[in-house]
Amino acid sequence: MNQAIAFYVLSAFILGFAVLVVSTRNTVHAVLYLVLNFLAVAALYVLLTAQFLAVIQVLVYAGGIVVLYLFVVMLVNLKRPPEDHSAPQRHSWIGFGLSGLVLLELAVIIGYGSIAPPGPANAQNTDLAMYNVEKIGMLLYTDYLIPFEVASMLLLVAMVGAIILAKREL
């Protein structure tokens, strides 16, 4: 009962902030709403007794990635005052078309997903809270090792690319 209330409240926050992210005119405000969104998602993870994931969500997403977004937004903003960022002409039909396409894609994926059997990970509900970190560690380094390594390679490539693009001379 309490869980349900908490879930609905949190979802309202998440959706509300998400809408604010795309609808606000001020870019920095949009980033800040994104942070609040991520914090609400972290709270949702706590509700699902995935405390480790919640903390990692705050640490990595809200506390790292969005900070970098904020840096970029502020440095770009430096060149021109906030007033210049008013939207010139919104071709809204492009936006609606694209979002319709994405919605269709998601519907298809969910539709197929519900037919397929559930995935291999089944949680042992006893002591779930205690063995959170160990479970994730085991899964990550045994079953999902290759995606893990591929992801780290991708990040490395992105970092090296960014450095090469930005450095004046090597």
CB of 63: closest distance to another protein in angstroms?
3
Q: Which two tokens stand for residue 117?
A: 């059997």
Give the one residue of 28, 30, 136, 139 binding another protein; rule: CB under 8 A. Answer: 28
Binding of residue 52 to another protein (CB under 8 A): yes
Stretch that binds another protein, among 1-9, 71-79, 84-92, 105-113 (CB under 8 A): 71-79
Contact 40, 14 (CB under 8 A): yes
Provide the CB-side half-sphere exposure for 168 (13 A, CA): 0
Residues 83-122 that bind another protein (CB under 8 A): none
Select 96 or 148, whichever has its Cβ closest to another protein. Answer: 148
Taking the C-alpha atoms of residue 151 and residue 149, their distance in angstroms, rounded to an integer, is: 5
Residues in CB range of 77: below 8 A, 6 or more apart: 27, 28, 85
Residue 146 CA: distances (Å) to CA of 52, 133, 140, 153: 22, 19, 9, 11
Tell me which stretch binds another protein (CB under 8 A): 87-95, 102-110, 128-136, 149-157.
128-136
- CA angle, 41 as apex, 102 and 111 as ends, to 5°? 35
Region near another protein per CB under 8 A, out of 64-72, 94-102, 117-125, 145-153: 64-72
The residue among 46, 47, 49 whose CA lies nearest residue 126 is 49
Among 15-23, 27-35, 98-106, 136-144, which window interacts with another protein (CB under 8 A)? Answer: 27-35
For residues 72 and 104, which CB has a smaller minimum distance to another protein in the complex?
72
Q: Write out the residues near another protein by the rule CB under 8 A.
A: 26, 28-29, 32, 35, 51-52, 55-56, 58-59, 62-64, 67, 70-71, 74-75, 78, 129-130, 132-133, 164-170
